[in-house]
Amino acid sequence: MVIHDLTELGDIQFEWPELKSIGYSVSFRKEGNKKETCSFRFYISSAKLSAEEFAYAARAHWSIEVKLHWKLDTAFNEDACRIRREN
């Protein structure tokens, strides 16, 4: 879902003057016999995207995230690292 009429969101237009659209996606995931999970994501954009363009951009973003995470975990064993800074 994508909205372009941001007038009902109050002062958000003053905080982000280039904001043109807000997108919302719902994802469902079921892995094996585990319970199905649902996640909600909100996106802001300076482009006036159609729902199809927004869906493509959101999928492309997560494709990059997944590929990068896999590389960081396999090359640097990042998931096993317990070092934390300022936490």
The one-letter code for the residue type at 64 is I
Q: Which residue has the higher pLDDT, 26 or 86?
A: 26
Per-residue pLDDT tens over the stretch 75-84:
777 777 777 7
Q: What are phi and psi of 44, to 5 degrees?
A: -115, 150
Q: Report pLDDT for 11.
A: 83
Band (pLDDT 50/70/90 cuts) for residue 37 is very high
Task: Round to whole Å and give the CA distance between 13 and 75.
Answer: 42
Domain boundaries, the chain: 2-80
Quick one: the chain helix, strand, coil %, rounded to 5?
40, 25, 35
